[in-house]
């Protein structure tokens, strides 16, 4: 059987079935960018490969997937971080021009090329750790032109680098100053003007919102979901991060791909998510950075069979993090996830959180040939180390990249 490339003499974590789907003496064959075989060498067809790669016993996992990022943004919030460490209060920082409004201003001031240029170093760090698919949200423009600009910049990242980008429209992220005291008016703008224009231009693969006491109410969130459904876009939600607004149950009612954060999620929300297969995307970087102490209900999610994904939540204010390897370590140490859950959280479950589980996230025939090849002796090393990158090679769409 002919194929373009055969990676052989490898150990595989296929992420198919239960657990990691380990194959001790495995190979992966690809043609035209897609996997045509992944499994034991002993069961493989006799391949006539144009290129054969001896992996010398290295481990191959699916390419890593970051399913929740705010990678595109203007500026940073390092000075605000410094002020906070020096004891400044939230109000003092806001008065000094800090907070999300400062990121909004810097994002509005940047043009598309500037946003792409500033995001590329962050993207390159994710890629250097085996990242092959990255979700990127809007949400710092908070006006149609600037939200569209952010999404175009997100799409452009996928042209600049050998990486798959999924874009998410997060117009309902925060209230822009021009709508202060008129949140319903801003939601009108999001639903009636921004979302239709963004959908018409094909700029977004999903729609997200921030349902929270300091964000938008469940009623406002539901209006955004209704508009998304009307335009044929799946939904996701920032939910239960700082309080229980029952946003996850609302998201599940709209068949959400994922509900994200979830520190304050209750049993009712878990049951709703379990019933619809909505993924719980946990964001340990934000939990760590804001020194949250309330843990997401991992045991109850596990017991209910809710799929658990992990992501960086890369953003300038609460999670300036660009390492999925560190996210896995934090998922284990802070949230007590197992090694298998951590690795599944940045591969097959992250794919599910993007609605891309038919295309990426496991090593099996028919999926895109996105691979991470690691210099490790056992998969636990990916979760165990901190600040160490054992990536040997990254394959995107069957090509070394």
Q: Which parts of this chain interact with Zn ion (CB under 5 A)?
A: 313
Minimum CB separation from Zn ion for residue 362, in Å? 25
Q: Which residue is nearest to Zn ion (CB)?
A: 313
Q: Which residues contact 321 (CB under 8 A, 6 or more apart)?
A: 285, 289, 312, 313, 314, 327
Q: Which is nearer to Zn ion, 355 or 397 (CB)?
A: 355
Cβ neighbourhood burial of 307 (10 Å; 0-12, 13-18, 19+):
buried
- Which residues, in sequence order, are CB contacts of 318 under 8 Å at separation 6+? 286, 289, 290
Minimum distance between the CB of residue 284 and Zn ion, rounded to whole angstroms?
A: 13
Closest CA to 264 of 211, 225, 316, 314: 211
Residue 390: CB minimum distance to Zn ion, A = 28
Closer by beta carbon to Zn ion, 15 or else 257: 257
**CB under 8 Å to 279, separation ≥6 — which residues?**
257, 258, 259, 273, 306, 307, 308, 309, 349, 352, 353
Q: Report the interhelical angle of 144-160 vs 112-128 (nearest 10°).
A: 40
| Pick 70 or 352: Cβ nearer Zn ion | 70
Nearer to Zn ion, 205 or 313 (CB): 313
Instruction: Supply angle C-alpha 376, 312, 158, rounded to 5.
Output: 90
- Nearest distance from residue 394's CB to Zn ion, in Å? 25
Cβ proximity to Zn ion: between 263 and 313 the closer is: 313
Strand blocks (E) in 44-163: 48-54, 59-62, 64-66, 131-137
Positive or negative, the CA dihedral 60, 53, 28, 159 is: positive
At residue 228's C-alpha, the angle toward residues 224 and 232, to 5°, is 170
CB of 286 to Zn ion, least distance (A): 7
For 155, the enclosing helix (H) or strand (E) is helix 144-160
Nearer to Zn ion, 309 or 395 (CB): 309
Least Å distance, CB 317 to Zn ion, is 10
Radius of gyration of the chain (CA): 21
CB of 262 to Zn ion, least distance (A): 12
The per-type count for the chain, helices as H runs and strands as E runs, is 16, 16
- Please tell me the distance from the alpha carbon of residue 316 to that of residue 16, in angstroms, as a whole number: 35
Nearest CB to Zn ion, comparing residues 313 and 341: 313
CB of 70 to Zn ion, least distance (A): 6
Torsion of CA 315, 349, 123, 325, to 10 degrees: 90
Smallest distance, Zn ion to C-beta of residue 314, A: 9
Between 5 and 319, name the residue whose CB sits nearer to Zn ion: 319
Closest residue by Cα to residue 238 from 226, 219, 221: 221
Rounded least distance, CB 263 to Zn ion, Å: 13
Element (H, E) at 258: strand 258-261
Which residue number, 99 or 196, has a Cβ lying nearer to Zn ion? 99
Query: Between residues 49 and 259, which has the closer beta carbon with respect to Zn ion?
Result: 259
């Amino acid at each position: 059987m002919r194929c373009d490339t055969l990676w052989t003499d490898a150990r595989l974590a296929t992420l198919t079935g239960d657990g990691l789907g380990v194959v001790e003496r495995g190979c992966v064959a690809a043609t035209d960018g897609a996997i045509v075989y992944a499994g034991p060498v002993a069961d493989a067809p006799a391949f006539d490969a144009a290129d054969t790669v001896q992996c010398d016993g290295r481990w191959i996992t699916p390419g890593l997937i970051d399913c929740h990022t705010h990678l595109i943004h203007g500026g940073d919030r390092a000075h605000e971080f410094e002020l906070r460490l020096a004891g400044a209060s939230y109000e003092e920082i806001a008065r000094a021009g800090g907070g999300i409004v400062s990121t909004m201003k810097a994002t509005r001031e940047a043009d598309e090329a500037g946003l792409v240029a500033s995001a590329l170093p962050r993207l390159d760090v994710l890629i250097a750790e085996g990242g092959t698919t990255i979700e990127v949200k809007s949400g710092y423009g908070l006006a149609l032109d600037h939200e569209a600009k952010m999404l175009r910049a997100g799409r452009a990242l996928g042209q600049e680098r050998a990486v798959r980008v999924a874009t998410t429209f997060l117009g309902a992220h925060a209230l822009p100053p021009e709508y202060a005291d008129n949140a319903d008016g801003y939601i009108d703008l999001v639903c009636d003007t921004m979302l239709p224009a963004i959908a018409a231009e094909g700029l977004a693969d999903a729609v997200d919102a921030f349902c929270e006491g300091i964000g938008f109410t469940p009623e406002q969130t539901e209006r955004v979901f209704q508009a998304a459904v009307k335009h044929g876009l799946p939904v996701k939600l920032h939910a239960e991060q700082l309080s229980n607004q029952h946003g996850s149950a609302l998201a599940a009612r709209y068949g959400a791909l994922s509900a994200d954060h979830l520190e304050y999620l209750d049993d009712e929300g878990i049951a709703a998510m379990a019933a619809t297969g909505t993924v719980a995307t946990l964001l340990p970087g934000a939990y760590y950075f804001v020194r949250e102490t309330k843990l997401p209900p991992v045991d109850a999610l596990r017991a209910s069979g809710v799929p658990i994904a992990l992501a960086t939540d890369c953003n300038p204010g609460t999670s300036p993090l660009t390492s999925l390897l560190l996210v896995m370590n934090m998922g284990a140490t802070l949230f007590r996830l197992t090694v298998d859950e951590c690795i599944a959280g940045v591969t097959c479950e992250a794919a599910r959180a993007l609605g891309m589980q038919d295309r990426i996230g496991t090593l099996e025939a028919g999926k895109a040939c996105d691979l991470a090849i690691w210099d490790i002796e056992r998969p636990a090393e990916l979760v165990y180390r901190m600040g160490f990158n054992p990536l040997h090679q990254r394959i995107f769409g069957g090509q070394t990249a």
